[in-house]
Every structure is written in structure tokens, then in C-alpha cells.
Structure 1
Amino acid sequence: MAASRTRSAVYSRRRKRRMARVTHDLDAAQWDALTAEWGGCAYCGSTGRALQRDCVLPISRGGRYTLENVVPACGSCNASKCNDEVTSWLRRKKLDERAFLLRHREIAVALAARFADPDGGTS
């Protein structure tokens, strides 16, 4: 049992160092807009479950928390994906890779335009 706590502490310290090395610029308004646009888990589509921020390109592979790189994921999908590359993970889980990528791009472009507008998209 002590070994698992030690391993957990090592992974926690590693993640903390990785997180400190990059600049994250996803704010609360952007996260709220992302969750509203996706309407549930970006991967499996489940609704009514708590959603977590998941990096499409994992932090361990150079990703960061940005509007273009984060999607809402249920705990199950987020834990399963871990730090895998999203397309290979979607294939392995037999989820619709093409549909996810198209929807991800569509939402990222729309929200990038909305948040680039000085009025925040409100007229």
C-alpha cells in the first residue's frame, strides 16, 4: 500500500511540474461555452453526468488548457483516454472518430470567433 501512495505522489509531482511549464488560458466563460455547445461528453455524448476538462492533445504530449484543445468529458471517458492520442483512442473504443473531429473543429472555430469579438459575442 505504501508503494502505491508513493507512486501516486510521484505522478502528482510530475503533473504539477508539467502544468507549471505551460501557459493555460481557458477561462470560466470559455469552459461554460464549451460545455453548452457540446451538450454532454464530447466523446460518448452522455448527459447528466459531471463533466471534466479533457485536453484533446494531452499536457504530457505538449497540450495545454486552451479553448481549441479542451473538450468536456465524462469521468469514464477522461480516465479511459488518459494521455492517449485522441484518434487512436476513439478507434480503440469504436467511437465515431470523424464525427468527433468535425464537431470539435466546428465548435472550436465558432467559439474562437465569439471570444475574439470584443463584445464576447453579445449584440
Structure 2
Amino acid sequence: MARVEHDLTDAQWAALTAAWQGCAYCGATDRPLQRDCIQPISRGGRYTLPNVVPACGSCNASKCNDEVTGWLRRKRLDERAFLLRHHEIRTALAERFADPEAS
């Protein structure tokens, strides 16, 4: 785990929570949000802007280290809506937080 790169900044986390406006999975807005890796760390994921979404504690604990689309189906959550929204937010924030020196 020490060799895994985690580079999500506080500003990026704030932007993610503002963009999602609640739990990325169930939409809950009445509880604290936690950082959830779409691809779990145990499966090679990292705490990075494209891989993190805000999740309520219930969804985060339930998903655990499951693959996200299979978990969404099992929970009967809207997989398509999640994937479309994740793509929109990921694209918008990637542009916003693009490293000008990387170009």
C-alpha cells in the first residue's frame, strides 16, 4: 500500500462533492460523504480525481471492494445514470484541474 500513489487534493475533493451534490451512488444528501474509490485499492485503484466519488457511509460500506457496475446492479441502483454522470463530472474536472505544465 505504501507504494500506491494517492494524489487527490482537498480542492479536487471539494469540487467532486460540489459536482455530485450527494452520494454518487444513491443520491443521499442528508448524511456525511466519504471518499470512495470506484476501482478499489485492493484491485489496483488509487485515491485520484478520476477514481474517487463521494459516497454515503452506507453505500461505501456496502460496496466495499466490489466492482462498481456489478455492485450497482445487485443493489438495483441506476448503473447507466451513474456511469454517464461520472463521465460528465470526470471530464469537466479533468479540464479544470489539468496540469498546464503537462501540455
- The interval holding the TM-score normalised by the smaller chain is over 0.9
Please give the alpha-carbon distance, in whole angstroms, between the structure 1 residues aligned to 2:79 and 2:38: 12
Relative to the length of structure 1, the TM-score reads 0.79
What is the aligned counterpart of 1:102 among 62, 67, 84?
A: 84
Gaps of 5+ in 2: none
The number of aligned residues is 100
4+ runs deviating over 4 angstroms: none
Mapped pair 1:54 → 2:23: no
Alignment of 1:12-23 (within 5 A): 18=1, 20-23=2-5
State the shift of 1:37 in Å: 0.1
Please give the alpha-carbon distance, in whole angstroms, between the structure 1 residues aligned to 2:49 and 2:88: 12
- RMSD of the alignment, in Å? 0.9
State the shift of 1:21 in Å: 2.1
SS at match of 1:54: strand
Larger radius of gyration: 1
Partner residue in 2 for 1:44: 26
Please give the alpha-carbon distance, in whole angstroms, between the structure 1 residues aligned to 2:7 and 2:88: 20
Greater helix share, 1 or 2? 1
Alignment of 1:1-123 (within 5 A): 18=1, 20-116=2-98
Please give the alpha-carbon distance, in whole angstroms, between the structure 2 residues aligned to 1:45 and 1:21: 33
Give CA-to-partner distance per residue, 1:64-92, whole Å, 9 cap, x none. Answer: 00000000000000000000000000000
Please give the alpha-carbon distance, in whole angstroms, between the structure 2 residues aligned to 1:105 and 1:113: 12
State the shift of 1:116 in Å: 1.0
SS at match of 2:59: helix
Partner residue in 2 for 1:11: none
Please give the alpha-carbon distance, in whole angstroms, between the structure 1 residues aligned to 2:85 and 2:32: 21
State the shift of 1:99 in Å: 0.5
State the shift of 1:117 in Å: 6.2
